[in-house]
Amino acid sequence: MNHRVRWALAATALLAAGAQAQQYVYPAKGQSAQQQTSDESACHTWAVQQTGYDPAKPPPAAAAPAQPTTATGTQRGAGVSGAAKGAIVGEIVSGDAGAGAAVGAVAARSQSRRQNAQTNQAAQQQQQAATQQGQASYAKARAACLEGKGYTVK
């Protein structure tokens, strides 16, 4: 799990750095290199203020909602409730409540792990979408500012 979060953070940082690197700025009105540096800095500040997104400081990855889990990654009580349901079914179907309880416990724990993994994956996808939207908004705002100052931005 920690490996996935670290990888996602690294990918986010690369994407954030790439958002600014994808823009090419040409001084269409003959601005000096010093003026262009000053204008790009001012437009960066303005774009951050307008969008709330700073590619130099991407937001930290949001942790998935904390669910009480055991060391095996299942929700507490999943095995117990599964065993109870399995015992009832096992008694009715085959007259063996013990076997039904064992099968029910295993099935409930497995389902709990899958649900927890899906929840974590959905949270990561939402964070990634928010980061991509922030990058796009920032790039658009920065380009608008620079174009207003007489630069061609592609």
Predicted TM-score (pTM) of the model is: 0.58
Using DSSP, state whether 69 is helix, strand or coil. strand
Mean pLDDT of 51-66: 77
List Cβ neighbours of 99 (8 Å cut-off, separation of 6 or more): 90
pLDDT higher than threshold 50 for residue 88: yes
Q: How confident is the model at residue 69 (pLDDT cuts 50, 70, 90)?
A: low
* Percentage of the chain exceeding pLDDT 90: 37
> What is the chain's mean pLDDT, rounded?
76
User: What was the pLDDT predicted at 12?
Assistant: 46
25-26/152-153 β-pairing: antiparallel
Task: Give burial (CB, 10 Å; 0-12/13-18/19+) of 112.
Answer: buried
Domain map of the chain by residue range?
Answer: 2-153
